[in-house]
Amino acid sequence: MKLNRISVRWQIFLGFVGFAGVLLVFLWLFQIVFLDSFYQTIKTENIKSCAAAIEQNIDSRGLSSLVDDVSTQNDVSIRILDLNINNLFQDLYSVQASPDSAIHRMDFQDLYQYYARAETQGGKLLETTTNQWNTEYFIRGQNGSIYGIAPPTDRTSNESLLYVSLVPREDGSHVMLMLHSPISPVNSTVETLRVQLLIITGILVVLTLVLSIVLSRTISKPIVKVTESAKGLARGQYDIPFEEEGYKEIQQLNDTLSYAAGELSKVENLRRELIANISHDLRTPLTMITGYGEIMRDIPGENTPENVQVIIDEATRLSNLVTDLLDLSKLQSGTQSLTLTEFNLTQSVRSILKRYAVLTSQDGYKVDFVCQGDVYVQADEIKISQVIYNLINNAINYVGDDKTVIVTQKTSPGKVRLEVTDHGKGIAPEDVPYIWDRYYKVDKTHKRAVIGTGLGLSIVKSVLEMHGADYGVESEEGVGSTFWFALNTLPGPPKGH
Ligand code: ADP
């Protein structure tokens, strides 16, 4: 067990806090640190696309309204200038979106300078400028006519984008397209954002702390509870309740652990019963053997064949018990495999029944066999015989007053069903699911009359399941029981029969 592992509660808490931290770092980075460059990039793209729209329509008739639209929609000031015959700039269109538009404050020299620079740069020029014009200037209308004087602005050092493009016209001449867009408000925006972010950060930190504490508690509490219960389970307390609360996974875990606890307690009970049964089953014949042996040694005339027979019977019983135990443990450990052969099942039943002849003639038992025709199956003959033996033995052990056991072979296309019926006391419905378990005995009082190791049906179940066969029991208390199993039949006798 690693002691340095941190608890789930801390993990959730730290995870949450970490997540909020990363979130905040990103928020600050994007909102404050990179905002400027983001904004500039967006503005640059914007001014370029405005220019492209105008360039494409430079010769169209609707240029005037296009320029107006572009200007108002994008908050850009636009000038389109032509060089006239006197080499003087003349406004073809001019729209001023803001009073501090740099392109509207340029004199001829400035304009010419930009024209020349744009020319050297392949016709396009983009630059970020800082407004330095703090003097009043002429407001020009379209065609360059002056129609007013603007007062000097106080935003003397604001950043702005200036885009110049030399656009060829259809007649071969060039016009100079100038666009100007202020980018300065970003500083004040950053200030607002910073204040907002500080508030958001505060709220987020508090929220994160509260939420992560609450969440980590709600998530870890049921886990801690389950762990405590599971510890109890490990100590052998199988009756510890696994509570039906918490979220889905915990409920599933609780269900699984409850199931495991149930199974473990069953195994535990079985183990106890096993020890009780085995010691009882071993002790009784051993006591008899010792008792009879001592009588025969000590009392003259007691050395009779009947007494010797008792000793032999008891020894046989012991050996049966041990054989059953071994069989079952081999079957259940999965080390035994089936030896499949094709054989006559009906014939097998007949020869098994022959061995009960002594029983029937001496004690008045009656074992009937009802069948129509022989059937052939592919199965492990020895193990299937063991199944039939066990079922008939049980039927005889629990036989009714009529002392009759009926073995019935029923056939349907491709199937054979073998039934062993008695008219004994039957099995209570609540016991039926358990009779196939190891050492399960309905009658736990170990009446000597009822002989059994408690292993018979377990062996039957293991063998039939290995064969993939269906099996079951129909039983009614006071009426009797019918144990059955079904196997696939072969179309006819195997070759060589
Ligand atoms: P056992 O050796 O005790 O018979 P089994 O595994 O063969 O052990 O059977 C388990 C239990 O099922 C029996 O103890 C008995 O209570 C019940 N049982 C089995 N066969 C019959 C039957 N034919 N009639 C009534 N009860 C039966």
Ligand 1, closest atom to CA 480? 24
> Hey, which of 441, 453, 462, 485 would you mutate to test ligand 1's pocket, going by the most ligand atoms within 8 Å of its Cβ?
441
Res 338 pLDDT > 50: yes
78/98 Cα distance (integer angstroms): 10
**Residue bearing the bigger pLDDT, 46 or 3:** 46
pLDDT recorded at residue 139 = 56
- DSSP state for residue 436 in the 8-state scheme: T
Whether residue 100 has pLDDT greater than 50: yes
pLDDT at 448 over 50: no
345-361 mean pLDDT: 85
Confidence bin at 133 (pLDDT 50/70/90): low
Residue 456 or residue 464, greater confidence = 464
* 394 C-alpha to ligand 1 centroid (Å): 6
pLDDT at 181 over 60: yes
More confident site: 266 or 261: 261
**Ligand 1 contact via 439 beta carbon (within 6 Å):** no
Taking the centre of ligand 1 as the mean of its atom positions, its distance from the CA of residue 84, in whole angstroms, is: 120
- Check residue 27 and give its pLDDT: 86
Q: Which helix (H) or strand (E) segment is 56 a member of?
A: helix 35-56
CB 328 within 8 A of CB 459: yes
pLDDT tens for each residue of 18-29: 888 898 899 888
- pLDDT reported for residue 384: 93
Give the position, in ligand 1's atom list, of the atom nearest the Cα of 425: 25
Total count of residues recorded for the chain: 497
Q: How many angstroms separate the CA atoms of 490 and 123, rounded?
A: 96
Ligand 1 pocket residue status of 446, Cβ below 6 Å: no
pLDDT at 450 over 50: no
CA angle 470, 473, 476 (to 5 degrees): 160
Ligand 1 nearest atom to the CA of residue 451, by list position: 2
pLDDT digits (tens, 9 = 90+) for 355-367: 887 777 777 888 9
Q: Average pLDDT of 77-102?
A: 83
Where is average pLDDT lowest: 100-104, 183-187, 384-388, 469-473?
A: 183-187
Candidates 395, 394, 369; CA nearest to 455 is 394
Is residue 182 within 6 Å of ligand 1 at its C-beta? no
pLDDT tens readout for residues 215-259 = 888 888 888 888 888 888 888 888 877 776 778 888 888 888 888
Residue 472 β-bridge partners: 484
Cα 273 to ligand 1 centre (Å) = 15
* Nearest Cα to Cα of residue 463 among 322, 330, 350: 330
Is the CA virtual torsion 304, 310, 312, 315 positive or negative?
negative
Q: Is 421 near ligand 1, meaning CB less than 6 Å away?
A: no
Q: From the CA of 310, how far away is ligand 1's center (Å)?
A: 24
Q: How far is the CA of 385 from the centre of ligand 1 (A)?
A: 18
Q: Read out DSSP for 120-178?
A: HTTTEEEEEEE----S-EEEE-GGG-EEEEEPPPS-TT-EEEEEEEEEE-TTS-EEEEE
User: Ligand 1: distance of its center to the CA of 459 in Å?
Assistant: 12
Mean pLDDT, the chain, rounded, equals 83
pLDDT at residue 128 is higher than 80? yes
Of 359, 323, 346, 349, residue with least CA distance to 456: 323
Distances in Å between the alpha carbon of 120 and those of 131, 159, 165, 413, 423? 24, 24, 12, 100, 116
Compute, in angstroms, the gap from residue 353 CA to the centroid of ligand 1.
20
Nearest CA to ligand 1 atom 21: 394
- Atom 14 (ligand 1) nearest CA: 441
Q: Are 177 and 167 in contact (CB under 8 A)?
A: yes
For residue 390, give the ligand 1 atom closest to its CA: 7
Question: In 3D, which of 369, 437, 426, 439 has the Cα closest to residue 400?
Answer: 426
Q: What is the pLDDT of residue 375?
A: 94
Judged by phi (left if over 0) then psi (alpha if -120 to 50, else beta), residue 55 lies in: alpha
The stretch 308-330 carries a mean pLDDT of: 83
Shortest-distance atom of ligand 1 to CA 457: 6
In this predicted structure, what is the pLDDT of residue 387?
Answer: 93
The model's pLDDT over 367-421, given as tens digits with 9 standing for 90+, comes to 999 999 999 999 999 889 989 988 998 898 888 899 899 999 999 999 999 999 9
Average pLDDT over residues 429-437: 88
Mean pLDDT score, 475-490 = 94
Pocket lining: 222 vs ligand 1, CB cutoff 6 Å: no
Whole-number pLDDT of residue 156: 44
| Number of helices and strands in the chain (H, E) | 11, 14
325 Cβ below 6 A of ligand 1: no
pLDDT of residue 447: 43
Cβ of 440 below 6 Å from ligand 1: yes
Euclidean distance between CA atoms 122 and 349, whole angstroms: 107
124 - beta bridge partners?
A: 165
Q: Which residues pair with 485 in a beta bridge?
A: 418, 471
- Region 431-449: what's the mean pLDDT? 67
Distance 154 CA to ligand 1 centre (A): 107
User: How far is the centre of ligand 1, averaged over its atoms, from the C-alpha of 421 (Å)?
Assistant: 13
pLDDT grade, residue 155 (50/70/90)? very low
Beta bridge partners of 270: none
The minimum-distance atom of ligand 1 relative to the CA of 458 is 6
- Written as six digits, the tokens of 89 are 């700039």
In this prediction, residue 410 carries a pLDDT of 95
pTM of this structure: 0.48
pLDDT of residue 467 exceeding 90: yes
Q: Give the residue with greater pLDDT, 369 vs 34.
A: 369
pLDDT above 90 covers what percent of the chain?
A: 24
Distance CA(130)–CA(183), nearest Å, equals 10
The rounded Å distance from CA 12 to ligand 1 centre is 55
Q: Does residue 457 line the site of ligand 1, with CB under 6 A?
A: yes
* 454 CA from centroid of ligand 1 (Å): 7
